[in-house]
Amino acid sequence: MGDEGESGGVQAVRTWAGEAIGRARALLPAPGTVAKASRAHDDSVTELDALSRLLDHDPELRASVTLWLGGALTLRHGVGGGTPEDRERAHGLLRDVRDPATKTGAAASIEDRRWAALFLLTHAMPLQEMLGGLSPEPDATAMFDMIRREGPSGMVAFAAEGRV
C-alpha cells in the first residue's frame, strides 16, 4: 500500500518506528570507547518492544524493529544492564531476522540480516570487562581459550552465526 492510501495513524507509527530505530542505533558505542549502561538502553528496549506489536501491517518495518529490539537487548546485556533473560530473548529475535526461512527473516532487508548476524557474533565473542563497562575489543586470551575449548566443529557453528 502506498503512502497516499495510508491513514494518519499508520504514517505516525511508521515515523515513530523510524525514530525509535534511530535511537537504538545511537546506543552503538563509538569506536575506541568503553560501553556503559544507561537509561537509554532500557528506554529503547521498552519502546521497540511496544512498537513490535503494532506493525503487523508492515512486515519489513516489523523485521527492522525486531532487529533493533534484539540489538538493544544485546547492547543492554553487554554493558551489564537489563535482566538475565535479555541474552536469550535477543538471540531468538536476531536469529529470526537473520534467517530468510523464517517469516521475519523473509521480510527483512539484507542490511537488517547482516546487522542481525553481527549482533549474534557479539553473543559468542568473549568481551573484556573493565571498570565502568566493557572494553571496545574482545578479550584475546578468552578468545583463544574458546577456540581451544570449542574445537573445529564449535568454531564452524560460531562462524555460522555470521552468515547471511
Instruction: Give the tens place of pLDDT for each residue, 26-82.
Output: 998 877 777 777 899 999 999 999 999 999 889 999 999 999 999 999 989 888 888
Mean pLDDT, residues 84-103: 93
Q: Tell me the C-alpha distance between 55 and 158, whole Å.
A: 32
The DSSP call for residue 28 is: S
Write down the pLDDT at residue 141. Answer: 57
Q: Tell me the C-alpha distance between 57 and 22, whole Å.
A: 21
Q: At what angle do helices 39-52 and 8-25 cross, to 10 degrees?
A: 150
Report how many domains make up the chain: 1
Mean pLDDT, residues 146-158: 61
- Of residues 21 and 81, the one with the higher pLDDT is 21
Runs of H (alpha helix) within the chain: 8-25, 39-52, 59-78, 86-98, 103-107, 110-124, 140-160
Domain span at residue 88 reads 3-160
Q: Are 66 and 105 in contact (CB under 8 A)?
A: no
SS3 3: helix
Nearest CA to 82 out of 124, 28, 129, 38 is that of 38
Write down the pLDDT at residue 1. Answer: 43
